[in-house]
A and B are shown apart, each in its own frame.
Chain A
Amino acid sequence: MLRLARKRWRIRAFRKRRELRAVVDRTNQIAPDHILLFSTLRNERIRLPYFLRYYRNQGVNHFIIVDNDSDDGSREYLQAQPDVSLWTTKHSYKRARFGVDWLNYLQNKYAHGHWALIVDPDEFFVYPFCDTRPLRALTDWLDASSIKSFSAMLLDMYPKGPFDAAPYAEGQDPFEVAPYFDSGNYIIHRNKKFGNLWIQGGPRLRMFFQDLPERAPALNKIPLVKWDRDYAYVSSTHMLLPRGLNQVYDEWGGEKASGCLLHAKFLDTFAHKAEEEMERRQHYANSHEYRAYRAGISTQPDLWCKWSEKYINWRQLEILGLMSKGNWA
């Protein structure tokens, strides 16, 4: 059954290729050992300089980006970057299953045999030893350990006070303005069908989904994969097929290595974004999430509480039990 599902997602991705138009294709620069980053975005111009710098520093060699009809200069900015290949589309984000189809197509075409990191422009990958070892150290170790996929839970970061109290400036580290996170309110269910864990929690659960916890957004993500053209993401980067790739957790008591995706969603840009997304109705579950936010935002929510933890580094996240070194030492 899942094999058929996987085939179906891959065929669908292949059909969706027609929606994409290449703006600039530098994929001939990709060498066999390059680490690739894939992303879909819309109107994220202000975030891009820091985003690219962050991942270049980690050792990403090439960026493959789908622009969903931006009109704020994102496309022009990305086009001018020497290590970016850019596609654009005016088609529906929702009907491309929130960009998954587009990226599945590009991954199958360009990432076969590469380590691929699939992140949104507001997600910042943190892995064990990321302050002293480049991304390639991690992927080499994963290769040596015969591990094909690497988990990084989404960690929602937020400021103290209302979102617009400290504006975000272009090029700035977003975690200077939004350094807080919830350290221990994450709820885990096991998804029997796909074999993955389904994690919900953090400030969004406790602020916007108190009465409807089952609707709270999923935080489990598997963004780093040694890609093969037979693979397909099922829903965002939450789960993949074949399902063995979702087995990023140990079931016999041990800890596998894992990281976090620091989520810089709750900046001053958020209110505007939520408005826009509500009008476009292009988000998951009938934009239920954004509706809940908008209801919250109109009363100026403060996600901060006295138990909020201020981000220091990956070691802090590992001590808190949000990620693990596994047996990487």
Chain B
Amino acid sequence: MSVGVVMLCHTAFDRAAQVARHWAVRDCPVVIHVDRRVKRRAYDGLVKALSDLPNIRFSGRHACEWGTWGIVAATQEASTIMLRDFAQVRHVYLASGSCLPLRPVEEMIAYLTERPRTDFIESVTTEDVGWTIGGLDVERFTLRFPFSWRKQRRLFDGYVRLQRRLGFRRRIPAGIVPHLGSQWWCLTRQTLSAILENPDRAEIDRYFRRVWIPDESYFQTLVRQVSANVESRSLTLSKFDFQGKPHIFYDDHLQLLRRSDCFVARKIWPHAGRLYKTFLSDDTGSQPAAEPNPGKIDRLFAKAVERRTKGRPGLYMQSRHPNENWENGRTAAPYSVFEGFVDLFENFEIWLGKATGTRVHGHIFAEAKVEFAGGEKIYNGAVCDSAAIRDYNPTSFLTNLIWNTRGERQCFQFGPEDSQALAQFIAGDPNAQISVISGAWAIPLFHSNRNFGEIRKEAARLQKIEAEFLSELRKPWVKARVRTWSLAEFVENPMEPLQTIVDEISPRAMRRLSEAPRLADLTGFGQFLQNLRNQGMQPVLMGDFPAGDDPRPSTSRRGRPYLVK
């Protein structure tokens, strides 16, 4: 008993000839169909190249435009010749000219001989199919497709839409339950001949002639009527990308293909010389007879599809520039934004770095320059501290910083003195953790040695900017993790909010903070606010600081650590 191979070819005939010869000299008869649209000379060349082999036939030529009946007609005719001329054939394997056997032919014959009544054909009902591209599954069987998908795409799409709107449906002949599956199958003589010799074949063919992509449904549907033993999978390793076009194998896939233990793979790049040389030689048969296991290849191609459709979150580059809200992650990793903390605490940056093990920058949106951690002039990825470059495209600046430091969490200070260009971007970023002590900007003013008139003006300006930022953070589309406290609230009990923030940044650390950052001296701050009020400016963001009643924790300034059990 042996296996017969039906080969559908339309290009790369030298490779097709090479593979056909490989099958034929190992006692597998081959029937070759060549697309009618191929030039006479190429066809004659192929016939001549294989003329020395007695068990090769060429079948009548049909035009095989993708998605049309021609491919099925070609398969039918070639299969008929196969069954007629080679009586010893038990299984017929449908392959293309760009298929390549990966395992020795004897292994495949042995595998099929052990399963003499099994038909290997992927055959899935239309309801269960998840892989059709373009949303046509059951409609392939119920609509009409008179226009070419390749050359008349608009008419094709328009006519499909029109039929949908009018509710047009073709009647599916009795007894036919539509199934779909990979075009590449391996059927037994009994099953295949039952399909080809069906007394109703003329009628069935007339119906399928107008079905869309019949090569993925004709045999897949009919096999269910005649076969008792369908194994719904293809023996041919064939992967499709997100547009439904087959992935191509190259020389560098050699090891992957070897380890897949599949019998046949498609599609092979015609110039992949090493693949053809390796797999068409006889010395590959050292592996044990294993079941085909394309898992690794599946993962490789699944990853490729994911890269093409989703991409790497937070990456902006020459071939990935998502529109707003299509970023699949505005930035590459979580980061923290602190407003007011450096004003309230004297050594906040150092303290935070120690407590969380993260990189803590200063005001990276400061007007004069980017205050990178440690006063660096150039940072990860060679981003430089020029404010002009940053302000030229602040979004690029931030997304670059976060992308370049993947793996290390970034924290930075923000405030009403800084450029506010990115406020909205950050607020809408799920990766941002924003903590604001509102009104803390008044503390440096309080400590400053400036004329009061100037201070009052500056306070009014900063308050306005911060109020705008706070209102931005309350907008319904905000996706950042936002926490705000008024200065008075925070000073009352600074440890609890700090603990919450630190826990969120490094959840696994789970230790209690043993040391608090040093609070700035707030003695007289209440009076300072009162003075502002007296001058006609209304400070509202810091909460309630009664004049004369100075907050207690300011004592910790004298070096006594704030201890929590």
Question: Which residues on A are within 8 Å of B, measured CB to CB?
Answer: 129, 132-134, 136-137, 140-141, 144-145, 151-153, 182-190, 197, 199, 202-203, 205-206, 209-214, 220, 248-258, 305-308, 321-329
Contact = CB atoms under 8 A, between A and B. Distances in A.
Interface in B257-286: 269, 271
B382 A323 contact: no
A197 B322 CA distance: 11
B451 to A, nearest CB: 32
Contacts of A197: 318, 321
B389 A329 contact: no
Nearest to A209: B389
A254 B252 contact: no
Given A145-B243, A188-B393, A327 B308 contact: yes
Given A187-B393, A210-B388, A324 B317 contact: yes
A309 B479 CA distance: 34
Interface of B: 241-243, 245, 247-248, 250-252, 269, 271, 300-301, 303-305, 307-312, 315-323, 326-328, 378-384, 386, 388-389, 392-393, 396-397, 400, 403-404
B376 to A, nearest CB: 9
A254 B389 contact: no
Q: Which of A184, A205, A212 has the most chain B CB atoms closer than 10 A to its own CB?
A: A184
Contact of B252 (A132, A152, A220): A132
A254 B245 contact: no
Given A220-B318, A253-B327, 7 more contacts: A136-B271, A184-B381, A250-B322, A254-B309, A306-B378, A307-B379, A328-B304
B269 A187 contact: no
A69 B394 CA distance: 44
Nearest to B302: A329
Given A186-B396, A307-B382, A329-B301, A151 B311 contact: no
Contacts of A184: 380-383, 400, 403-404
A215 B308 CA distance: 33
A326 B319 contact: yes
B326 A252 contact: yes
Contacts of A205: 384, 389
Nearest to B246: A144
- A-B residue pairs, 4 tightest by C-beta: A184-B381, A327-B308, A258-B319, A329-B304
A205 B309 CA distance: 32
Nearest to A252: B326
A327 B307 contact: yes
Contacts of A209: 389
Contacts of B320: 249-250, 253-256, 324
B404 A133 contact: no
A251 B322 contact: yes
A186 B378 contact: no
Contact of B389 (A136, A189, A210, A326): A210
A185 B381 CA distance: 6
A252 B322 CA distance: 5
Nearest to A304: B382
B312 A214 contact: no
Given A185-B382, A253-B311, A308-B382, A151 B304 contact: no
A272 to B, nearest CB: 26
B324 to A, nearest CB: 10
B318 A254 contact: no
Q: Which of B304, B320, B323 has the most chain A CB atoms closer than 10 A to its own CB?
A: B320
Contacts of B403: 184, 321
B307 A326 contact: yes
A321 B317 contact: yes
Contacts of B271: 134, 136-137, 140
Contacts of A132: 250-252
Contacts of A140: 248, 269, 271
Contact of A327 (B241, B250, B315, B327): B241
Contacts of A144: 245, 248
19 contacts: A133-B251, A137-B269, A140-B248, A186-B317, A187-B396, A188-B321, A205-B384, A206-B382, A206-B389, A210-B386, A210-B389, A211-B386, A213-B392, A249-B321, A251-B323, A255-B315, A327-B305, A327-B308, A329-B304
Contact of A251 (B242, B248, B301, B326): B326
B378 A145 contact: no
Contacts of B248: 140-141, 144
Nearest to B393: A187
